[in-house]
Amino acid sequence: MKSFDYVMTAPEGIHSRPAGALVKKAQEFESEILVSFGGKSANARKLFALMKLGVKRGDTVSVTAEGADEELASSAMADFLASHF
């Protein structure tokens, strides 16, 4: 299992358009990828679950990848968040 924290810098936090792109990125990997915030976790492949987290600018999320390609998935998700959120 590989985990990292990310501080949301996007003015809108997680909203529909970038969340959709995040879902597509997560679907590239075999590993299960979870985004956690405020005591709740969401499967990164589920758009509405991500949006229900209510992540805003300045909030810190934890991202966990677990599976056969967890190293690659974790690294790619960290890069994706840094460039899109």
Catalytic annotation, residues: 15
Contact 61, 55 (CB under 8 A): yes
Q: Which residues pair with 29 in a beta bridge?
A: none
- Gap between the Cα atoms of 54 and 18, Å rounded: 14
